[in-house]
Amino acid sequence: MTLLVTGGCGFIGSNFIRYWLSKYPNDHIINLDKLTYAGNLENLKDIENNPNYKFVKGDICDKELVMDITKGVDLIVHFAAESHVDNSIEGPEVFVKTNVEGTLILLEAALKNGGIRFHHVSTDEVFGELPLDDPNAKFNENTPYAPRSVYSASKAASDYLVRAYYNTHKLPITISNCSNNYGAYQFPEKLIPLAITRAIMNEEIPVYGEGTQVRDWIHVDDHCRAIELCITKGEIGSTYLFGGNGERQNIWIIKKILEYLNKPESLIVHVGDRKGHDVRYAIDFSKAQKELGYNPTKPIEEGLKDTVEWYKQHEQWWKPLKAKADIQAERYLEKRLDI
C-alpha cells in the first residue's frame, strides 16, 4: 500500500510515519510537507534513507502538485495544518488558506484520482469549551461544534468539507478529533516542550492567568495507534474521538515538569490570559473503545516523565529551534501578572 501523509515533518505526522513504517515495513509513504517553521526534516532523519519513504517539499494548496502526487496513492492521511491558536489571532488568513482551502484541494484530488481512502486528523477544539465546575461534562461525537478561535473555526470548516465529500460523492473518509498531544519532537512553542526547554535553561516559564485551564493530554504514541485503528477498523463516513485519560490543569503540568527536572517553582511567571481562551477540554472516547478497541496506554505521569527525559537527551534537536519559540514566550512574559 502507498500512503500520502501531509504535514509529515510536523510533530504528530513525523511520529505517525515512524510508527507506520515500523508496523508496516513493506508499505510506501510519500511525505508532503511545506516545511513551515514547525516542519522539520530532522524529525525523520533516522528514516530518510529508507527506500520505502519519500519526502516531497510542497504546499497542499498547490493544486497541480497535489493532483499529480496523489496518483497511485491508496490512502491519504491528512495532518498538515496551521495549529497555534495565538498565531491564528495575529494572522488568521494563513489558517483559512491552509486548513480550509488546502483540505478542499486534497479532497478534490482524492475524488478525481479514483476515490482514494482519506483520513482527516482534527482536534477537540472544534467543540469549544467545557465548564470547569462540571467534571462529568465531556465532548463526544454528537457534541455540536462551537469553535472559539480562528484556528478551531478553520479546523471545523475542514471537518465539514470532509463530511460533505462523503455525503455528496461517497468518498471513503474517516475523521478523528483528539485531545492535546505531547511527546517527542514537539516544536518548543507548545506548552509542554516550552516549559521543559525553558526549565532546563533555568528561564522563566509563562503561564496564562492562574493556569487553571484544563486539558486532556494524549501521548502522541497513543494517538498514532488511534489513527491506525481508524484506518484499519473505522467505519467509512464516521468520526471518532480520542483522549488520553489525562485531564490536568496547565499549572499542574508545569509544576510536574519542574519536579521531574528538580527546578524551582519560582521559574513560573503568570501572564495575561489569551483572548477567548477555552477553559476546559475533555473527551468521551467510548465509541472508539467499543468499535475500535482503543484505550490509551500511557498515563499522563508516566508519559510526561518520558517526555521530559527525551528533551533532556535531545538538546541537539531542540536548541536550534528554541530561538523561534522564545520570541513567542517573550511576548507572553511582557504581560506579567501579580498573582
Active site residues: 124-125, 151
DSSP 272: P
DSSP 125: G
Q: What is the DSSP annotation of 278-293?
A: --B--B--HHHHHHH-
- Strand (E) or helix (H) holding 176: strand 173-178
The angle, 0 to 180 degrees and rounded to 10, between the axes of the packed helices 191-200 and 300-313 is 50
Q: In this structure, is the dihedral angle defined by the CA atoms of residues 254, 256, 262 and 265, taken in order, positive or negative?
A: positive
Q: What is the DSSP annotation of 188-206?
A: TTSHHHHHHHHHHTT--EE
Residue 185 and residue 139: Cα distance in Å, rounded? 27
Distances (CA, A) of 60 to 65, 68, 326: 8, 12, 28
Residue 203 and residue 116: Cα distance in Å, rounded? 48
Cα 191 from chain centroid (whole Å):
13
